[in-house]
């Protein structure tokens, strides 16, 4: 089965995906190949649609996975079937699951400031401040290089975005001050601003900051609700509350579709919650 996994890795890498994405894509294909070796004793080419459906049911039950995660596994199976086995894929045989969508947690402005300003480590504080002040993904923060910082125009050149589109993100003066302090204190890095600690010119792992965010929540006595992405959502939400239009927010966040940006209408305090029902207007009810 190793040959199949190697072929899958090769085809995924030909798409030019990042290393952590490659690792994620291989997760359930590795589980699938292990399932075939342990239970079906079949080569992937010989697996029927019924057996594929049985595998998906087994995977969800044995690992207690959400429908959203199961869709990721199905997507990986589809890629494997088309690009490794060179067989056609029939969406009617193994459809994607419907799943509930929930609004993400967004910290208030006060909580955001309290959290960032009290972080004890300058490196973690700077990375978190950049996520919030510029609306960056954690992968984009980790991939920032010295030459990406445009101090004169107060902007960051994002060259490793999720959608492979270069963009400029705003750089706040407060975040720049933190970044400057960090740069001098951590050896004036000229390549990646946040390199791996082993000294190689490679970016720091994305999971580095996640565990420190949870540790700081514990330090503050807060419930564990924050993720790295929470600060990006806070950036978009707070901009919308300040009256910035969705098209500008879309450009700053690097969203491919405006529908991704529209979520901030729901999250903002002056979004859908500020609307007055026409029935109340008829009845003369005041919401002031």
Segment-wise mean pLDDT, segments of 10 residues, the chain, 288 residues: 88 74 80 94 95 95 89 93 95 86 88 97 97 95 95 92 77 97 95 84 89 96 95 95 93 91 86 72 67
Instruction: Answer yes or no: do 70 and 121 share one domain.
Output: no
Instruction: Answer yes or no: do 125 and 221 share one domain.
Output: yes
Instruction: Answer yes or no: do 126 and 220 share one domain.
Output: yes
Instruction: Answer yes or no: do 216 and 254 share one domain.
Output: yes
Q: What is the pLDDT of residue 280?
A: 74
Find all residues with CB under 8 Å of 136, minimum gap 6, and list them: 130, 156, 158, 169, 232
Element (H, E) at 8: helix 2-14
User: What tokens appear for 88 in the block?
Assistant: 């056609």
Q: Is residue 167 part of a domain?
A: yes
Instruction: Answer yes or no: do 123 and 196 share one domain.
Output: yes
Instruction: Answer yes or no: do 68 and 113 share one domain.
Output: no
- For residue 281, with 0-12 CB atoms within 10 Å meaning exposed, 13-18 middle and 19 or more buried, which class applies? exposed
Instruction: Answer yes or no: do 44 and 147 share one domain.
Output: no
Of the candidates 232, 238, 200, the one whose C-alpha atom is nearest the C-alpha of residue 213 is: 232
Q: What is the pLDDT of residue 116?
A: 97
Q: Is residue 137 part of a domain?
A: yes
- Residue written as token pair 């740069």: 183
CA 54/CA 130 separation, integer angstroms: 45
Instruction: Answer yes or no: do 248 and 135 share one domain.
Output: yes
The model's pTM is 0.73
For 222-251, give one letter per residue: b (16+ CB within 10 A) or e: eeeebbbebbbbbbbbbbbeeeeebeebbe
Instruction: Answer yes or no: do 56 and 191 share one domain.
Output: no
Q: What is the pLDDT of residue 285?
A: 64
CA distances from 43 to 40, 148, 263 (A): 9, 48, 44
Q: What is the pLDDT of residue 19?
A: 63
Cβ contact 215:224 at 8 Å? no
Q: Is residue 196 part of a domain?
A: yes
Cβ contact 49:94 at 8 Å? yes
Instruction: Answer yes or no: do 46 and 161 share one domain.
Output: no
Instruction: Answer yes or no: do 139 and 243 share one domain.
Output: yes
Instruction: Answer yes or no: do 72 and 174 share one domain.
Output: no
Q: What is the pLDDT of residue 20?
A: 63
User: Which residue range is the domain that position 267 belongs to?
Assistant: 109-272
Q: For residue 266, what is the domain's CATH number? A: 1.10.443.10
Q: What is the pLDDT of residue 51?
A: 96
Q: For residue 63, what is the domain's CATH number? A: 1.10.150.130
Q: Is residue 278 part of a domain?
A: no
User: What tokens appear for 53 in the block?
Assistant: 């459906």
Query: Could you give the number of structural domains in the chain?
Result: 2
- For residue 94, with 0-12 CB atoms within 10 Å meaning exposed, 13-18 middle and 19 or more buried, which class applies? middle
Q: Is residue 213 part of a domain?
A: yes
């Amino acid at each position: 089965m190793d040959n199949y996994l190697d072929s899958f890795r090769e085809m995924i890498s030909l798409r030019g995906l990042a290393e952590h994405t490659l690792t994620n894509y291989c997760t359930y294909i590795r589980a699938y190949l292990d399932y075939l070796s342990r239970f079906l004793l079949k080569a992937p080419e010989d697996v029927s649609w019924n057996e594929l459906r049985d595998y998906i049911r087994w995977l969800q039950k044995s690992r207690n996975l959400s429908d959203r995660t199961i869709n990721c596994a199905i997507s990986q199976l589809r890629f494997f079937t088309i690009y490794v086995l060179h067989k056609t894929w029939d969406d009617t045989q193994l459809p994607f699951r419907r799943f509930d969508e929930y609004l993400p947690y967004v910290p208030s402005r006060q909580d955001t400031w309290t959290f960032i300003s009290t972080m004890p480590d300058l490196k973690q504080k700077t990375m978190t401040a950049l996520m919030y002040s510029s609306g960056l993904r954690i992968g984009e923060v980790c991939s920032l290089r010295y030459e990406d910082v445009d101090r004169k125009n107060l902007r960051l050149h994002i060259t490793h975005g999720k959608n492979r589109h270069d963009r400029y993100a705003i750089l706040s003066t407060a975040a720049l001050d933190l970044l400057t302090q960090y740069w001098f204190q951590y050896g004036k890095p000229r390549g990646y601003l946040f390199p791996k600690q082993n000294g190689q010119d490679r970016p720091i792992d994305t999971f580095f900051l996640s565990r420190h965010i949870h540790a700081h929540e514990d330090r503050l006595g807060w419930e564990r609700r924050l993720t790295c992405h929470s600060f990006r959502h806070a950036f978009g939400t707070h901009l919308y509350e300040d009256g910035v239009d969705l098209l500008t927010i879309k450009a700053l966040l690097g969203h491919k579709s405006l529908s991704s940006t529209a979520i901030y209408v729901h999250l903002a305090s002056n979004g859908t919650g500020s609307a007055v029902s026409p029935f109340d207007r008829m009845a003369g009810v005041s919401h002031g």
